[in-house]
């Protein structure tokens, strides 16, 4: 049972939403349910909610009929037990579902043309074959298939049962599949070549002649008095921070109503923080890779891809886990156990000074980490939201897992990747992450300023050329809100509430300190950039609109154009002194390395949100010294 308006849908609510649609809109078993999520209440409704008051609950549902391919969006009032909106989406292909991807694998492994193509390459054990479908862009869909829901599949092969399928790409063999009919439409087959002798295994028993190192001694995290946070339902409190944990199929973890207690009152920092899109273009035009433009959030969904976490492996210490409730494509709910991990970490020194007379004064830093892990096919993304005692927020993503690799003919290595094994290369690619930051700094009416440093020229007031000034430029319109990173000026972006002043008389703010910004490096005419125009800038700023959630559009499967940010911002609305939303793009420019094969150690990227004049002074001045635990000599 939900207790707060922002609590995610329960299993019963998911069942109810589906049964209302089956009853009132003839959604039969020939339909698939792409997604069901809470329709979040307005900011005012959240603010005015009294604990224990009755909840108005609504579900957003996207579903489609496999027979005619028609997609519908529904709004279901759970409180009223009825459909309140029902709309046909003529151009919308909903997200892929796990059921489809699985059914496609099973169907293709039984398909005579697939069996035959593999037999010609000496592969006959179909139990060790994995046929994995990817979605792709509309520009690659021929006219006769344009109304169909399509997958483009790779074939992978496990050398033995339990071995890594991504160790062995069946290079030069791809299928185009109608996912509604599970019908094989096209076989792309270059006939194959002799397989190289590779070693793509990472599980110790499968790695030949490997001895695990034996000098790693236990490192235990002990919190004898328990953790310093409390979790009541989805309300999390820690070290003056408070926030609500949300979760849905597409964004995965969502942080709601993030606030910091200052002199007895909770001050708003953010209304809602989440990952809104992830785009992974492979920068390799060869036949095995040219369709790879994964939209891991819009096509797959971070929530649907979330995996259960294990104590001791994924997180150490006193852990609180939250389960997540999602649903399959029939609308049947299921639970991902331990989907979200909440724990504290020691993070070295927070602040320190050594004085000749009073000696050393040192504080240890703690951070609260709220995290979840997703597995999208071969790749893992580990996503960490970290709150610090001094008001900082850090957002970190670690990419790990298995790189996509393919084989090449002797002497014919393409220049679009790195050699990682015998006649095997890993294509270059980029992971663009788009985070949606609905910051509310001490209230909803905020303005974003671009902040830049400038060195002044040598002159009478600056004879030694030492002068440096900081300039803040307000971003007044959505056009001005399109911002690019500039290393030469150390550009950043400050979200300011000009109506609230600190003790020093300056307006309160939080700064987005960019990190790991990467340029798109895509031709303006490239189809993937047309589908994901958000990649063209580091930052976009829009006025808050409940319906503006997906920067590349709600439906990115087989999309042709971006129906999100470029369409919204074409209105060039005012973003001054209003409820602003920031869309920040960062990521990994992945020039692959041999050391990332056969399994890739985490590649880590992050950025910060830091208070700038939000507090009157260092808010972590009151952190007590750590008790000394040195054993006496």
Task: Give me the active site residues, please.
Answer: 296, 379
Nearest distance from C-beta of residue 403 to Cu ion, angstroms: 6
Taking each helix axis from N to C terminus, what angle separates 98-109 and 112-119, rounded to the nearest 10 degrees?
A: 60
CB within 8 Å of 415: residues ≥ 6 apart = none
Strand order in the sheet with 183-189: 129-134, 150-157, 173-178, 183-189
Q: Among candidates 130, 111, 200, which has minimal Cα distance to 170?
A: 130
Cα distances (angstroms) measured from residue 138 to each of 89, 93, 149: 16, 11, 10
| Cβ distance to Cu ion smaller for residue 381 or 614 | 381
| Cβ distance to Cu ion smaller for residue 39 or 590 | 590
Instruction: List binders of Cu ion among 569-608 (CB under 5 A).
Output: 590
Report d(CA 186, CA 191) in Å as an integer: 15
Instruction: List binders of Cu ion among 533-562 (CB under 5 A).
Output: none
Binding residues with Cu ion: total (CB under 5 A): 1
The residue number whose beta carbon is nearest to Cu ion equals 590
Contact of 108 with 131, CB cutoff 8 Å: yes
Report d(CA 229, CA 322) in Å as an integer: 14
Nearest distance from C-beta of residue 289 to Cu ion, angstroms: 13
Helix (H, G, I), strand (E, B) or coil at 303: coil
Report d(CA 607, CA 443) in Å as an integer: 23
Q: How many CB atoms lie within 10 A of CB 434?
A: 24
Written as six digits, the tokens of 63 are: 């579903």
Q: How many CB atoms lie within 10 A of CB 561?
A: 16
Report d(CA 569, CA 145) in Å as an integer: 32
Nearest distance from C-beta of residue 455 to Cu ion, angstroms: 37
| Cβ distance to Cu ion smaller for residue 31 or 586 | 586
Report d(CA 361, CA 265) in Å as an integer: 29
Q: Does 283 bind Cu ion (CB under 5 A)?
A: no
| Cβ distance to Cu ion smaller for residue 57 or 590 | 590
Q: What angle do CA 432, 151, 305 make, to 5 degrees?
A: 50
| Cβ distance to Cu ion smaller for residue 256 or 590 | 590
What single-letter DSSP state applies at residue 167? G
Q: Pattern 97-116, binding to Cu ion, x per CB under 5 A?
A: --------------------
Is the preceding omega at residue 598 within 30 degrees of 0, hence cis? yes
Written as six digits, the tokens of 129 are: 């074959």
| Cβ distance to Cu ion smaller for residue 4 or 590 | 590
| Cβ distance to Cu ion smaller for residue 590 or 610 | 590
Q: Among candidates 182, 165, 221, 205, which has minimal Cα distance to 103?
A: 182
Binding site for Cu ion (CB under 5 A): 590
């Amino acid at each position: 049972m939900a207790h707060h308006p922002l609590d995610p849908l329960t299993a019963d609510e998911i069942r109810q939403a589906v049964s209302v649609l089956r009853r009132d809109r003839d959604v039969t078993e020939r339909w698939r349910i792409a997604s069901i999520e809470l329709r979040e209440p307005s900011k005012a409704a959240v603010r005015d909610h009294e604990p224990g008051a009755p909840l108005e609950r609504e579900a957003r549902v996207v579903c489609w009929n496999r027979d005619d391919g028609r997609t519908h969006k529904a709004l279901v009032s759970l409180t009223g037990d009825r459909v309140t909106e029902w709309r046909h989406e003529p151009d919308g292909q909903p997200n892929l579902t796990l059921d489809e991807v699985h059914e496609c694998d099973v169907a293709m492994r039984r398909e005579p043309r697939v069996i035959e193509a593999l037999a010609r390459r000496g592969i006959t054990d179909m139990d060790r074959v994995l046929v994995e479908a990817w979605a792709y862009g509309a520009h690659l869909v021929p006219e006769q298939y344009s109304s169909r829901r399509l997958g483009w599949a790779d074939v992978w092969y496990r050398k033995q049962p339990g071995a890594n399928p991504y160790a062995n790409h069946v290079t030069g063999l791809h299928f185009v599949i109608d996912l509604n009919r599970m019908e094989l439409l096209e076989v792309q087959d270059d006939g194959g070549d002799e397989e190289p002798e590779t070693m793509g295994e990472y599980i110790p028993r499968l790695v030949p002649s490997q001895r695990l190192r034996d000098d790693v001694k236990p490192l235990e995290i002990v919190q004898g008095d328990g953790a310093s946070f409390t979790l009541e339902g989805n309300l999390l409190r820690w070290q003056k921070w408070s926030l609500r944990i949300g979760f849905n199929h597409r964004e995965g973890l969502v942080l709601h109503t993030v606030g910091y207690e200052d002199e007895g009152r909770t001050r708003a920092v953010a209304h809602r923080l989440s990952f809104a899109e992830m785009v992974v273009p492979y920068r390799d035009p060869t036949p095995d890779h040219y369709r790879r433009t994964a939209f891991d959030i819009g096509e797959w969904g971070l929530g649907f891809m979330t995996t259960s976490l294990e104590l001791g492996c994924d997180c150490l210490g006193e852990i609180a886990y939250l389960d997540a409730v999602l649903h399959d494509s029939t609308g049947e709910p299921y639970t991902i156990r331990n989907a979200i991990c909440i724990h504290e970490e020691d993070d070295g020194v927070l602040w320190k000074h050594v004085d000749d007379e009073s000696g050393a004064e040192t504080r240890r830093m703690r951070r609260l980490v709220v995290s979840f892990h997703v597995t999208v096919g071969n790749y893992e993304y580990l996503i960490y939201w970290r709150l610090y005692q001094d008001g900082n927020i850090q957002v970190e993503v670690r990419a790990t897992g298995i790189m996509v690799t393919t084989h090449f003919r002797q002497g014919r290595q393409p220049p679009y990747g790195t050699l990682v094994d015998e006649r095997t290369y890993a294509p270059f690619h980029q992971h663009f992450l788009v985070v949606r930051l609905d910051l509310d700094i001490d209230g909803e009416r905020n303005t974003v300023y671009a902040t830049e440093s400038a060195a002044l020229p040598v002159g009478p007031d600056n004879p030694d050329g030492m002068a440096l000034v900081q300039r803040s430029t307000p971003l007044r319109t959505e056009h001005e809100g399109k911002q690019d990173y500039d290393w030469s000026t150390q550009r950043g972006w400050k979200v300011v509430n000009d109506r609230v002043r600190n003790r020093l008389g300056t307006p309160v703010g939080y700064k987005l300190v960019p990190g790991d910004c990467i340029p798109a490096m895509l031709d303006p005419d490239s189809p993937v950039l047309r589908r994901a125009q958000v990649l063209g800038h580091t930052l976009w700023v829009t006025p808050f609109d409940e319906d503006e959630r997906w920067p590349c559009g709600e439906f990115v499967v087989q999309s042709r154009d971006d129906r999100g940010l470029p369409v919204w911002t074409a209105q060039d609305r005012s973003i001054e002194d209003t409820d602003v939303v920031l869309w920040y793009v960062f990521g990994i420019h992945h020039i692959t390395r041999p050391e990332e094969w056969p399994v890739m150690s985490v590649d880590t990227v992050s950025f910060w949100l830091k208070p700038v004049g939000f507090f009157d002074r260092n808010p972590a001045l009151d952190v007590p010294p750590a008790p000394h635990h040195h054993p006496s000599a």
